[in-house]
C-alpha cells in the first residue's frame, strides 16, 4: 500500500465520516444517488434529501418507473435539475440493459447519463470495493499540491497527469474507505483556502508544503482575456454646471439608466449632436471639444473603454428641451438619478484635458 494511502486511512479511521446514510447499507444504488446529489451540494444539505429520496424510491426499478414529476419533487430545492432527469434516464437504461441494477464496469457506468469517470470510480470503489480512482475537485486539489503539479487542473493535460497519480496511489484493500477518506480529507483538512498543514498526516511528503507553495497550488484557472469595446461619450456642460444626460434603451447594459450620450468611436460627434440635439450645435463652438482621460469599465463578457469629449460653458438649456431621452441635469440632482458607476465617477471627477 502506498505510504500516502496508509497515512490517509489512519487519519480517516480517527477523523473521517463513518455514519453517512449512504454508508449503511452501501448498495450501488445508494452510493450512486449520493454521488449525484453531492455534486454541487454539501453533505449536510444532501442528507435529508437523500433520506426522503430512498424512502420513496428505494432501488433502481422504483426510480425507473416513477412519474418524472415525483422524481423532480423529491429533488426540489437541490437545484441543477438535469441531475435528477439524468438519474432517472440512467435508471431506465439500467432496467433495459443491466437487469435493473447498476453495472459493475467502468465503461458501462460512464455510458449512463450523468455519470463521469470520477463518479463511476466512486461507485465501483464504494459499492464493490473495486480498485478505481476518483478525481473530483477535492482530490485534484490535494494531488496537485502533494505532487506540485503545475497548470490549471481543468486542462486535459494536467487532468491526465492527476489521473495517473490517483491511479498509482490506490491501495489494494479498503477501497471504499480510501475513497471516502479522500473526499473527507479534501473537504475538511486540505481545503481550498485554509489547508491545515500543521495537522496534516501527509505533510512530510507534500511537495507544496515542503516547498512553501501551498498558496500557489493548484494553479488557478487562467483569467479570460475579455474583448474590449471602445466608445465615445459626450460630456456637455452649460454655464450653470448642468450636464446633458441621455437615458439608455430599455434593454442591454445599463438599461434605462441615465448616462452620457454615447456613440461609436468612428461616429462624428458634431453630426451626432446635429441629429439628436437640434439647435445645440454651433459649428464654431463645437468643433474643438477637450479630450478627457479614458475611463475603463469591466462587464462579465467584455471591457468597455469610454473616451469622453468635453464641452463646457454652453448657454443654459441651449438647444435641448428636457425629454424622455435627453435631459439637462443640475449637479445637485445627479444623486437622485440612476447613473452607471463609471459615468458617475466621470461626472464627479475633476476635468483634466489630455494634451494633444
Ligand atoms: S500539507 Fe497542506 S497542502 Fe499538503 S496535503 Fe497536507 S494539508 Fe494539503
> What is the spatial distance between Cα 121 and Cα 130, in angstroms, rounded to a whole number?
8
Runs of H (alpha helix) within 241-324:
269-276, 283-286
- The pTM of the whole model exceeds 0.85: no
pLDDT at 321: 67
Decide whether any atom of ligand 1 lies within 6 Å of the 189 Cβ. Answer: yes
Decide whether any atom of ligand 1 lies within 6 Å of the 57 Cβ. Answer: no
Extract the C-alpha cell encoding 211: 516547498
pLDDT at 289: 84
Distance 208 CA to ligand 1 centre (A): 7
Decide whether any atom of ligand 1 lies within 6 Å of the 208 Cβ. Answer: yes
pLDDT at 68: 85
Task: Note whether 218 and 141 are within 8 A (CB).
Answer: yes
* DSSP letter (8 states) at residue 194: -
Q: Is 51 a catalytic residue?
A: no
pLDDT at 319: 66
Point out the residues of the chain with pLDDT beneath 70.
278-287, 316-324, 355-356
Whose CA is closest to 60, among 22, 37, 85, 28?
28
pLDDT at 287: 65
pLDDT at 127: 96
> What is the spatial distance between Cα 119 and Cα 54, in angstroms, rounded to a whole number?
19
Please tell me which residue in 35, 51, 237, 285 is annotated as part of the active site: 35
Distance 213 CA to ligand 1 centre (A): 10
> What is the spatial distance between Cα 232 and Cα 265, in angstroms, rounded to a whole number?
5
pLDDT at 82: 82
Runs of H (alpha helix) within the chain:
3-15, 28-38, 43-56, 60-65, 68-75, 82-97, 106-110, 117-128, 137-146, 156-168, 175-188, 207-210, 269-276, 283-286, 341-348
Amino acid at each position: 500500500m502506498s505510504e500516502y494511502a496508509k497515512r490517509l486511512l489512519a487519519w480517516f479511521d480517527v477523523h473521517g465520516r463513518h455514519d453517512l446514510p449512504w454508508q449503511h447499507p452501501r448498495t450501488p444504488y445508494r452510493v450512486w444517488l449520493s454521488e449525484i446529489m453531492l455534486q454541487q451540494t454539501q453533505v449536510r444539505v444532501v442528507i435529508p434529501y437523500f433520506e426522503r429520496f430512498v424512502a420513496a424510491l428505494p432501488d433502481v426499478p422504483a426510480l425507473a418507473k416513477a412519474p418524472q414529476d415525483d422524481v423532480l419533487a423529491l429533488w426540489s430545492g437541490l437545484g441543477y435539475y438535469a441531475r435528477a432527469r439524468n438519474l432517472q434516464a440512467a435508471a431506465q437504461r439500467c432496467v433495459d440493459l443491466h437487469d435493473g441494477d447498476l453495472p459493475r464496469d467502468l465503461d458501462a457506468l460512464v455510458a449512463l447519463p450523468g455519470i463521469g469517470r470520477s463518479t463511476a470510480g466512486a461507485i465501483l470503489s464504494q459499492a464493490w470495493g473495486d480498485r478505481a480512482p476518483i478525481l473530483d475537485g477535492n482530490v485534484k486539489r490535494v494531488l496537485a499540491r502533494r505532487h506540485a503539479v503545475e497548470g490549471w487542473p481543468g486542462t486535459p493535460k494536467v487532468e491526465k497527469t492527476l489521473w495517473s497519480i490517483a491511479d498509482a496511489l490506490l491501495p489494494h484493500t479498503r477501497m471504499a474507505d480510501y475513497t471516502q477518506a479522500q473526499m473527507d480529507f479534501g473537504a475538511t483538512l486540505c481545503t481550498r483556502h485554509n489547508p491545515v498543514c500543521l495537522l496534516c498526516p501527509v505533510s512530510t511528503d507534500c511537495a507544496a508544503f515542503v516547498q512553501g507553495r501551498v498558496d500557489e497550488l493548484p494553479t488557478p484557472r487562467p483569467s479570460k482575456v475579455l474583448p474590449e469595446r471602445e466608445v465615445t461619450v459626450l460630456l456637455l456642460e452649460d454655464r450653470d454646471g448642468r450636464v446633458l444626460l441621455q437615458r439608455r434603451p430599455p434593454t442591454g447594459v445599463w438599461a434605462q439608466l441615465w448616462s452620457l450620450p454615447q456613440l461609436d468611436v468612428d461616429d462624428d460627434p458634431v453630426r451626432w449632436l446635429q441629429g439628436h440635439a437640434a439647435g445645440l450645435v454651433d459649428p464654431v463652438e463645437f468643433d474643438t471639444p477637450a479630450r478627457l482621460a479614458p475611463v475603463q469599465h469591466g462587464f462579465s463578457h467584455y471591457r468597455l473603454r469610454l473616451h469622453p469629449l468635453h464641452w463646457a460653458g454652453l448657454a443654459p438649456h441651449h438647444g435641448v428641451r428636457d425629454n424622455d431621452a435627453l435631459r439637462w441635469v443640475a449637479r445637485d440632482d445627479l444623486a437622485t438619478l440612476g447613473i452607471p458607476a463609471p459615468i458617475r465617477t466621470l461626472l464627479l471627477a475633476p476635468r483634466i484635458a489630455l494634451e494633444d
